[in-house]
Structures are given as C-alpha cells and as structure tokens.
C-alpha cells in the first residue's frame, strides 16, 4: 500500500466567527493525485492552506511523513512541500532565471542545476525574459518550475489551471500526473470536473467547509451528491474507451 505523505485529521478553521473548514480529514499518498472539487466557498483553498501550514487549524492536526507538520523545521518543510498558489503576481519584475534561482535556493545540496530545471520545463528560450513579458502559459511553466525546483515529494496546487487555456491546463495537469507517477503525493484543487476525471486518482468533494465524499473519480462523478452540491443536473456522457465527460445541465431545484 502506498505511503501516506501528508495527512489532515479532523481539521477545523474559522475566520471572523464563520467556519471555513469543518471536521475535514484527508490524506495524500505517494504516487497518486487527489483532486479537491466543490463549488465556490466550499473551503477548498482554506483546506490547502491548512495542509501546507499557511494556516493553523483551530482543531485537528496535519502530519507530514507521520510527524506533526509544525514540528518540521521551516526550511525542511519548504523543501518537502511544493505549493502552486491560486494567484501569483510577483511584486518585482523578476526574470525567469531569477525566479528559478529563488526556487532552487530552498533545495539545498540536492538541487538540480538551473540549466536542467529550465530544460525540464521548456524554459531555456525565455530564461532572460521578465515576468511582465511572459504569456499565461509561460508564466504557469515558470512558476511550476520554481515551486517544483527542489523536487518535493508532496505537491499541492490550488486551481493552477484557472488562468490557462485548454491545452495549457491539460499540459499542467499532465505534469502533475507525471510527478505522481514518479512517486510524489499530489493534491490539486480543480474547477474543471473533466480535468479532474482525466488526471486524478481520487476525488474529495467539498461543500460548505465539509467533506461530502472522497472516492474514486468514477464514484464521485456518478454520484447524485455531485448534482446536489453544484446545484445542477449534470449530463454524463460515457466515452468509448472508458471514462466519461460531464456537461452541466439545467439548474437543479
């Protein structure tokens, strides 16, 4: 059985008296991609922030490699967890190579070289370009390269495909899938249910800060809970080679 790399148990978090995450338990295992889905305000991003230690839970605990998350020295934690944020706009107009260097800095002695990293993410031709001159796809690749520079065994991505076109989004999800194939434990918040169906090994469906269900993509996507949570009647079209495509139908109720 694959090893649990990052685990949250009974996580609760409130802000200004409103519960944003309520009693959620989930685990990221090596070699698999966990998709976190749910409507806006479901608590997906808050859950990611709790899992990476950016927020401290009011109750519950997060463990990294079976050790409480906050017991890890900050720099070690930074090398073990890669976090692709939902929004990223640097305050200074960094060049791509400068961004990669900042990512590589936290890798310590096992860092790959800047040249290898750039080659791996297809960034060699744009290494000297400034962030402000990059296209959306180039930005996504540059950010992913900086975040994944230390080759972290745990990766959490918060809607990384939100600002990308269909092809770029598929390429990014494929890259996350490849990381899992290499043994990494990956979690990704994703709005596009078809991307989730195609690239995730398990799905966690959230609503109002609670976990509604966590199961295989087929189980979650076929469940009537999905229609209820998203308040729509999905049309489910089976694909000839297996799997399915979802299209939103009429608003439910």
Partner 1 sequence: MIFLLPVIGLAAGLLLGAETLSPAEMLALVTDPDTPMSHLILQWRLPRVLAAGCVGALLALGGAIFQGVFRNPLAEPYLLGSAGGAAVGATVALLVVLPFSAALALPLLAFLGAWGATWLVLAMARLTGRASIAALLLAGVAVAAVLAAVRSFLMLALSDETVSLQAVLSWALGGVQTPSWPELGLLGALTVAAVALSQSLARGLDLLGLGEGLAESFGLAVRRFVALAVLAAAFIVAVSTVWGGLVGFVGLMAPHLARWRHGPLHGGLMPRAAAIGAGLVMLCDGLARAVLPPAEIPLGLVTALIGGPFFLLILAREVRRG
The contact set with partner 1 (CB under 8 A) reads 52-54, 74-75, 77-79, 81-83, 85, 88-95, 98-99, 101-103, 105-106, 147
Q: Give min distance, CB of 150 to partner 1, in A.
A: 10
Smallest gap, in angstroms, from Cβ of residue 204 to partner 1? Answer: 21
Q: What is residue 86's DSSP assignment?
A: S
Of 83 and 202, the one with the shorter C-beta distance to partner 1 is 83
Q: Percentage helix, strand, coil, to 5, in the chain?
A: 35, 30, 35
- The number of residues in the chain equals 253
If you ran DSSP here, which 8-state letter would residue 223 be given? Answer: S
> Among 169, 158, 173, which residue's Cα sits nearest to residue 81?
158
Closer to partner 1 by CB, 54 or 235: give it: 54
Cα separation, 232 vs 219, in Å, equals 17
Kindly tell me which of 132 and 235 has the beta carbon lying closer to partner 1: 132
Least distance between partner 1 and beta carbon 5 (Å): 16
What minimum distance in Å lies between the beta carbon of 24 and partner 1? 20
The residue whose two tokens read 């469906």 is 205
Give the SS3 label for residue 89.
coil
Supply the minimum distance, in Å, between the C-beta of residue 3 and partner 1. Answer: 22
**Distance in Å, CB of 228 to partner 1, minimum:** 32
118 φ, ψ to 5°? -65, -40
H helical segments located in 150-238:
166-181, 193-199, 217-222, 224-230
Q: How many angstroms separate the first and last alpha carbons of the chain?
A: 42
Nearer to partner 1 among residue 18 and residue 242 (C-beta): 18
Task: For partner 1, give the closer residue by CB, 52 or 180.
Answer: 52
CB nearer to partner 1: give 82 or 217.
82
Beta carbons within 8 Å of 102's beta carbon, 6+ residues apart: 94, 146
């Amino acid at each position: 059985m694959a090893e649990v790399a990052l685990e949250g148990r009974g996580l609760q978090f409130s802000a200004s008296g409103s519960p944003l995450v309520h009693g959620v338990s989930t685990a990221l295992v090596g070699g698999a991609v966990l998709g976190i889905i749910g409507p806006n305000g479901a608590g997906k991003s808050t859950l990611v922030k709790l899992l990476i230690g950016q927020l401290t839970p009011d109750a519950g605990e997060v463990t990294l490699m079976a050790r409480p998350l906050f017991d890890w020295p900050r720099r070690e934690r930074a090398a073990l967890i890669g976090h692709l944020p939902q929004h990223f706009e640097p305050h200074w107009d960094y060049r791509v190579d400068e961004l990669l260097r900042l990512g590589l800095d936290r890798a310590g002695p096992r860092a790959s070289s800047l040249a290898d990293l750039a080659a791996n993410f297809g960034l060699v031709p744009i290494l000297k370009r400034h962030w402000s001159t990059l296209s959306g796809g180039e930005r996504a690749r540059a950010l992913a390269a900086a975040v994944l520079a230390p080759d972290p065994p745990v990766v959490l991505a918060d809607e990384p495909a939100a600002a990308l076109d269909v092809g770029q989004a598929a390429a990014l999800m494929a890259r996350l899938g490849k990381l899992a194939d290499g043994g990494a434990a990956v979690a990704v918040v994703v709005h596009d249910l078809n991307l989730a169906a195609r690239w995730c090994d398990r799905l966690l469906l959230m609503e109002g800060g609670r976990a509604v269900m966590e199961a295989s993509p087929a189980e979650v996507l076929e469940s009537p809970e999905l229609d209820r949570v998203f308040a729509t009647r999905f049309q489910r079209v089976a694909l000839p080679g297996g799997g399915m495509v979802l299209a939103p139908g009429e608003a439910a109720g």
